């Protein structure tokens, strides 16, 4: 497994974790009206997604582990293209969902927009990493 693959697995885990935390916080805001107070989220995030990846990506797990080459860059570019188109699909799906929920003449609270954009960003990261891993599996 090279750096790109390891990075993709870590990014996938990070995006899923952050999406889960975003849903948890949004659920807390909508049910209790305030941001949930959990002191364990930030330290867990730091340990799992900064310390462990730093060690795994910097240190080779075997002497046969390859460095990054032209093929890896090509795979990343293809994944970015897939992710780019998925962002548009997600943004238009978000507008469609808002139209279904509030009606065409309805009004959307502005604090919904950052939640929508962050969710779209995280889902597009998940799609990006899955596209990278699928291409490595196929090749």
Partner 1 sequence: MNKTQKGAWFNLLGSLLTILTFGIVGFMLFGVNKFPNKTLMLAVLAVFFLLAGATIYYVRKKQSPEEPESDERDKLIQRNAVIAAFVSVWVLLFIANISLQLCFGAAGLIPVWSLAIINVAILYVVLGVYSVAVLVQYGKGGHGNE
Residues at the contact surface with partner 1, assessed by CB under 8 A: 77-78, 80-81, 83-84, 87-88, 91-92, 94-95, 98-99, 102-111, 113-114, 117, 121
CB atoms within 10 A of CB 33: 7
Half-sphere exposure of 15 (CA within 13 A, CB side): 19
User: Token match 């305030």: residue?
Assistant: 34
Q: Quick one: which of 74, 65, 80 has its CA closest to 130?
A: 80
Between 58 and 77, whose beta carbon lies closer to partner 1? Answer: 77
Q: Minimum distance from CB of 6 to partner 1 (Å)? A: 21
Q: Minimum distance from CB of 83 to partner 1 (Å)? A: 7
Between 10 and 76, whose beta carbon lies closer to partner 1? Answer: 76
């Amino acid at each position: 497994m090279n750096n790109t693959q390891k990075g993709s697995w870590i990014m996938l885990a990070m995006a899923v974790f952050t999406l889960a935390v975003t849903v948890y916080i949004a659920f807390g805001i909508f049910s209790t009206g305030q941001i949930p107070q959990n002191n364990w989220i930030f330290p867990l995030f730091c340990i799992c997604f900064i310390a462990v990846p730093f060690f795994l990506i910097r240190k080779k797990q075997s002497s046969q582990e390859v460095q990054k080459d032209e093929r890896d860059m090509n795979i990343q570019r293809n994944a970015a293209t897939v992710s780019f188109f998925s962002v548009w699909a997600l943004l238009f799906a978000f507008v469609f969902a808002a139209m279904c929920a509030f009606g065409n003449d309805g009004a959307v609270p502005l604090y919904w927009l950052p939640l929508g954009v962050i969710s779209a960003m995280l889902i597009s990261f998940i799609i990006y990493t899955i596209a990278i891993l699928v291409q490595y599996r196929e090749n």
